[in-house]
Each structure stands twice: as C-alpha cells, then as structure tokens.
Amino acid sequence: MSDAGHARPIRTPDQRLRVFVSSTLRELEPERRAARDAIERLRLAPVMFELGARPHPPRDLYRAYLEQSDVFVGLYWQQYGWIAPNETISGLEDEYRLAPLAMPKLIYLKQPADRHERLDGLIARIRDDDTAAYKSFSSADELGQLIEADLATLLAERFDASRASPGPSSTEDATSGRLPASVTPLVGREHDVSTLLAWLGGERRLITLAGPGGIGKSRLVIEVARLAQNRFDRVTFVALEHVRDAEDVLPAIARGLGVREAENRPVAELIAIARAGRRDLLVLDNFEQILTAAPLLVSLLTDMPGATCLVTSRARLRVRGEHVFDVEPLRVLAKPATASLAEILESPSVQLFRERAEAADPRFRMTAGNAEHVALICRALDGVPLAIELAAARIRALTPATMLAKLDRVLPLLVTAARDVPERQRTITATVEWSIHLLSADAQMLFTRLGVFVGAFSLDAVEAVASEEPWATDLLGILLELVDSSLVRQHDVEGVPFFSMLAPVREVATARFASDEGAPDARRRHAEHYIRVAGEAEPLLEGATQLTTLTRLEAERDNLRAGYRYLIALGDVDTVAGAVWSLLLYWWIRNLLPEARAWMENILEAGVPLADRTRAIAIAFSSWVALSQPGTAVDPGRIDESVKLFHGVGDDFGEACALTVLSIAYLSASPPDLDRAETTQRRAVELARESPSFRALFRGALGSVLLVRGRASEALAIFDEVIDDSVRLGDRFVESITLTDAGWARLTLGEARPDLFVKHLRLSLDIGNEDGIGYAFEGLAACAALTGDAGRAGVFLGAAETARKRTGMIEQRSYVILLRPLIDRMLASADAGTDFEAGRARGRTLSRREALELALGPTPAISS
C-alpha cells in the first residue's frame, strides 16, 4: 500500500471509469439527468452530488470526488452558482479550478443564454485552456447525445494513445493551432513586417499575403503573428497545404481552435459560439488550392466580430473586405559592378544568401573578391528567397563565380534534399508547377504562350502573340487569372500596364513554350510587334515625350533584342536595320550603341543581299561606335560610302547622321582635319530639317568643331542658342550635352562654371545617360584646375577615369585637347602635383554613389 500513490491502480470489475459532472443544480436539472443517462449507457460511473449525501463540507466533498474521477464534464448555462461564506468564487468555478491539469475536460454550453457576468469570465478562461474542448447545445436530449459520442471518442483516442510506442506524440493534433517555430532568421523583411503590424492595428480583418511560390509568404506571416500575439487572446495557425476541398476548411480551423464538431450543428456556428467575445488571430497558410472556400471566411469573420484573419495564398481571394499585401522579392542591386562592398552587403537579397551560405558551409565568407558575384547571382534570381536559399545551399560545391556561370539555366541548380521542406518546394520547378496545376485550362495555355517573352511585356504584346488563338476569347481575363495566381506580376510603366515573370517562373514558361506547336508563328508575331514598337517610339524619343518613351523602351528592351535576333536569323535584316535605326536616340542615350553596332556587324556578315539603306545604316552605326572606343581605327572612306548610300536613296536624315559621324572622324584624326570637319558638319546641319532635336544636336556638333579651332566665342553663341532651343523643345538629352559644350567654351574663355556641369550631371541621371557622368566629372575637374584646386581636380579626374572604365567609353577627344593645358598650368605651381595625384588616386577608388555625392551632395535619388 505504500506505493499506492505512485503506481497505477489495478481496478476490480466494479471500478469503472468515473466521470465528474459539474454544473449548477436546479437550472440544469434535466440536463444533469441526460448526462447521467449518457454516461451510464457507456457503462461508466457518473460522479454527481445528488447520487448520495455525505456528512462532509461541500468543498471537501467535490475535491475528493475530483481526485477519484477520470473525466471532467462541465455543463454551463446562465447562473454562476452559489458563493459560500468567506469565499470569493462559486463552487462551480472552484470545481473547474480543482480539476487536475491532465484530466480530460469536456465543456458544454447551453444556448441561448443570458449569462451572469462572472460565468462569462469563467467560460472565457476555459476557452483559453488548451486542455478543454467545448460545444454548445440547446436541449437535454441533444446534450445526452453529445456527451455519449464525445466520451466514446475520448476513450478510443486514449486507447490508441496507450498502444503507441513510448515517447513524445507525433500526431498532427499535438501541435494543432500553435505557431510553427522558426529555425532560421527572417532576412530583409523589416519594412514588410512593420507594414503588416500596422495593418493589424487598424480596421483590416481579412489580410491576404499574396505572392508566387517561394517568395517567403509563410515565413513572413509567422513572424508577423509572433510579434502580434500579445494583441490577441489567442493566435491560431492552420496549415492548409493538404486541404483540397472547400468543405474541409472550416473543420480544419475548428481543429486548430480546439472546437469539437457536432453532427447536427454547423461548424461555423460552433466556432462562433466557442470563441464569442474573444479576440482571435487566425493564420491560414497556403489557401490557393481552396479559393472557393473564401466566402466561408467572410461569413466566419461576420460571426466572429473580434477575429482577424491572416491568409497566405498564391492567388488573391477576391472577396469583400479583403486587403491584399503583395509579398515582393527581396531588393537586389541593379548595378553591382558600381557598388562598394559595404553597399553590396546592405542588400537584403545578399544578406539572405550570405546567411544561408554560411549555414551550409561555415567556411564561406563574403569578400571583396566574391561580393559582386553574389550580388549578380541574387539579381539573376530576381530576389526570390527560395531560389536564393537553394542556390546558397550549393556553396559547398560551387564558388559564387562558378555558380554565376551556371545560372544561364537556373532550374537544375535550384534543388534541395532537405527532408523538412514540403515536396512542392524541394525544387523551384515543383513550386511553379504546383501553381500552374491550379489554373484553368485557358490560363495554362496562355502561361505557355507567354514563354515567348524574355522580359517585361505590355498587354498589346500579349494580344499580338495570342489574340488569334481559339482559347483567347477573354484574353485580359485570362491574363488577370495569371496575375491573381502570382505567376505573372503587373506593374505600371509611365501609366501603361506591363507584366513580367520572375526568373524561375519565366524559365518554366520558356521550357513549355519550346514544345508548343504554335511557337514558330508566335515568335514571328512577337518580332513583328517589336518592329512596330520601334516605329511608334521614334518620334516620341525627341522633345517632351523623351523620358517617358525611354522608360517604356527600357521595359521592353529584352524583348526588342529577342525579336530582332529572331528576324536576323531568318534573314529579314532590312526590317531589323530600319527598326534599330528608328531607335537611334534610345541606344545613344542609354549607352547601348555598342550593342546596336554588334547587330549591324551581324547584318553586314549575314551573307544575304542588303538594301542600300540597310548597308548605309550598318556602316554609320559601326563607325560611330568605333570612334567612341579606344584603340579603334576608323576609315573616313568607309563612312563616306554610308553618306553616299543614304544620299542615293533620298534619306536626308540618314545622310546628315552619316555626315556628323564623318565630321567626328576628321576631328578625331591625328592630326585632326579641322577644315573638313567643319565643312562636313555644316552640310549635316543643312540636311537635318525634319528633326528639331537632331538639328539642334548637329548644330552643337558644329560648335564643338569651332571650339577646337579656337573660335570659343562663336562656339559659345551656338551652344547658348541650342540650350534655349532644347529647353523650348523639352529635350533633356540635347540640353544635357550642350550644357557640357557651353561649360568647356567658358573654360576656354577663362571662366569656370561648375554649375553647368552639375546641371548636365543631374539631367544625365534623369534620362539614364551613364556616359554623361564621365563628361560631367571631366568638366568639374577642369573647373577645379582653372581655379587652382589641385586636390579636387585630381579627385574628379580619377572619378571620370573610373566612370569611363565602367561604361567602356573613352573621353571626348575634343575636350581632352582643352583639359590637358589646364591641368599642366595648374601643376606648374609648387606642391600641386602631390595634391593632384593623391586626389586622382582617391577618385579612382570612389564608388559611383560616393562620386555622385561629391558632385551633387547627398541625395536619396542617387542609386548604386
């Protein structure tokens, strides 16, 4: 007997499981009889006050009863119960408090009810007790059925548990409703977390975190819920990835909340009753495959006025009251080559790669030698967290440089063998295919057709490649289905809707498109569309519409390239040459002339007959770009051939462009042929009558020739006129170039005007003209040299040299002739040489941002 308190008792046949029934007596007398009958039908022993009086105080009695009972059943309606003298709580509440923590508790609430305030408080505490399950009932008969069924289920569950091997439970319900623990830190989502926490503090009650697979929705929502849990009475996490039918959603939520189902009561009603008066945060993860259940959430939130719902889904729910938070990729650096190590390490995508890579291989370190490669990897992966994590896990076998070289096809690289990752996220391909599987048949067809695109695309482009297909009767609606499913992203470019796909998604679409029987025809229509784009953009690249058109063309650049390459491969070179020529200003402003030259070289070497105009265009492009690159000899005779070919087909504009290239060639020769340069440029100005912007540019080129000839005042007069004309036209490119010209003319006349070069620099940044940065730095160096500031002159000259290396363009040869004398005069003074060379060395080491801030001052508009 001495071990009786520690060993499990051996029951005699008369000792059945005891069920303690707690309730007020008189108001629930019929219900207590129903409970007793239900318990006895199961051959269990009801433990109730009325089954036999005992000569003991009530508290001692029910304490003893509880100690000998196996199950607690609580019945509550309206009354709180009697409070004995010198006590602060009723016997009803005391019974619940004295019930052992490990004792199973079945709670039944009678409805409707006008409950005593203190009974409401007791029920609220019971609801937050993870050891209690509760249901509602309206009659004694219904209660009897519920108790009988629940006790039978409880016994079955306990019997199953007794047969399980020893050790902690691994059943799904063991952690039902609890937030999953995070095993890795959340990286780069500080702003997202802050925004969502603010949303939770407002009136938003249904918040959907929408985004493609692998974007980090689940990880983000768990962190937000964790930080917000003190604001709610309970936070319940419900994983829905294995739920396939809409009718199973509410039962899954009920299980997470610990609410038992009843055969004859709607689940939503049971949840609403059980959580009445409580502030709940429901976190529903992976909703995309059961979108038809979305209206049920709205109804549930109507029945639960204190609840808020956070949902993660690859597709929007599209129900009233929904607030969508688009989870975007992590920020990537647009130009890693121009960024310092510190700037690279600040990038959220790089931080994620670094953290995961160091976890995979503790020997890995970010250094100045591999930082740019890592940043380029993150950019190639479009900042998609899952893709970055999968790539970082390969660091044990691949260096960043080797990994980068393999990213021309990303999907084979992005695989994990981690056992704790869902199957649909073990490869990026599986993640994307899961989303595609959820689409309608028409949307799947359109997704495949979008594989023809290699970058952002407009609705017009989609219509061009798909509108004639039989499945494309509602093309916009189908496209929006892809947007809602997070496979396609929508954004505005200068007020025009554009669409794009993240790199891993695009690669799946490309692979599908390759086997599409309609691919050849779609490629042709794709290319023809971008030929039309060039023609429409040509007049808009001049004047006030310039910046908007540049931005739109930049968005379509990758598709322009793909379309033109396809036509060149087919031998349709004349069409491509005309389109590329139409976009002359775009290539020039955005520093893409070398690429245009490469196309022209391909055209010249295509081995197909060329139209005279096509040959003229190709020669002019190739020669012009060659003149701006170091170590390239240019034959004026070849350029003269282009002039004659343009003249022969009656293309005055083309002839004027070729004449300007020829003038530059004469000016750049050693020694320069200044007479021919001036004569040729004057002919160009006369021919450029149809284009105000190009006529202004050609007049500015004439002024540059005059400046080199020593006629600075005459040149300055031309420059000032052109600046006035460019401002009137609203042409920022013409204005920026001519401001530099005017600055050099004034330097020649002994006047330092750094403000002209600074304004030129600002305009260059506005229109995305990288070459303009080098020109501005050279001009600022010259201004500093003229005023005798050797250190500043050296810094800007060093920064200009670095900028030139970055863009691959050499300095303006005409202005080098003017800069060198200014530097030489400055260096003639004592100690200037040391300061100049020290400044020059410093300037060469400045990052792009640092150099720009030196010229302009700190500004958030400056990017790396």
Portion of the chain with pLDDT greater than 90, in percent? 49
- Residue 164, pLDDT above cutoff 70: no
Q: Where are the beta strands (DSSP E) in 138-273?
A: 206-210, 234-239
- Residue 857, pLDDT above cutoff 90: no
Average pLDDT of span 780-786: 93
259 vs 696, which has greater pLDDT? 696
Amino acid 465: pLDDT:
94
Average pLDDT of span 538-564: 94
C-alpha angle with apex 306: 305 to 312, nearest 5 degrees?
Answer: 95
Amino acid 166: pLDDT:
37
Q: Are strands 105-110 and 132-137 parallel, antiparallel or unpaired?
A: parallel
- Residue 165, pLDDT above cutoff 70: no
Give the confidence band of 767 by pLDDT, cuts at 50, 70, 90.
very high
Give the confidence band of 6 by pLDDT, cuts at 50, 70, 90.
very low
- Predicted confidence (pLDDT) per residue in 9-46, tens digit: 455 454 678 899 999 988 999 999 999 999 988 888 88
Give the confidence band of 412 by pLDDT, cuts at 50, 70, 90.
low
- Predicted confidence (pLDDT) per residue in 193-202, tens digit: 999 999 998 8
Q: Are strands 457-458 and 206-210 parallel, antiparallel or unpaired?
A: unpaired
- Residue 648, pLDDT above cutoff 50: yes
Average pLDDT of span 67-90: 88
Amino acid 448: pLDDT:
95
Amino acid 5: pLDDT:
40
The dihedral region occupied by 752, where left means phi > 0, alpha psi between -120 and 50, and beta the remainder, is beta
- Predicted confidence (pLDDT) per residue in 353-382, tens digit: 999 888 888 889 999 899 999 999 898 888
Strand, coil or helix: what is 602?
helix
CA distances from 717 to 669, 713, 749, 760, 813 (A): 26, 6, 13, 18, 22
Q: What is the mean pLDDT of the chain?
A: 85
- Residue 861, pLDDT above cutoff 60: no
Average pLDDT of span 229-234: 90
623 vs 815, which has greater pLDDT? 623
CA distances from 654 to 461, 619, 650, 667 (A): 29, 11, 9, 20
Alpha carbon distance 322, 318 (integer Å): 7
- Predicted confidence (pLDDT) per residue in 295-305, tens digit: 999 999 999 99
Give the confidence band of 53 by pLDDT, cuts at 50, 70, 90.
very low
- Predicted confidence (pLDDT) per residue in 122-135, tens digit: 888 887 666 677 78
Q: Are strands 234-239 and 280-285 parallel, antiparallel or unpaired?
A: parallel
- Predicted confidence (pLDDT) per residue in 467-489, tens digit: 888 888 899 999 999 988 888 98
- Predicted confidence (pLDDT) per residue in 796-854, tens digit: 999 998 888 776 665 555 456 677 788 888 877 767 888 889 999 999 999 888 999 99
Portion of the chain with pLDDT greater than 70, in percent? 88
Amino acid 141: pLDDT:
92
234 vs 805, which has greater pLDDT? 234
Average pLDDT of span 611-626: 92
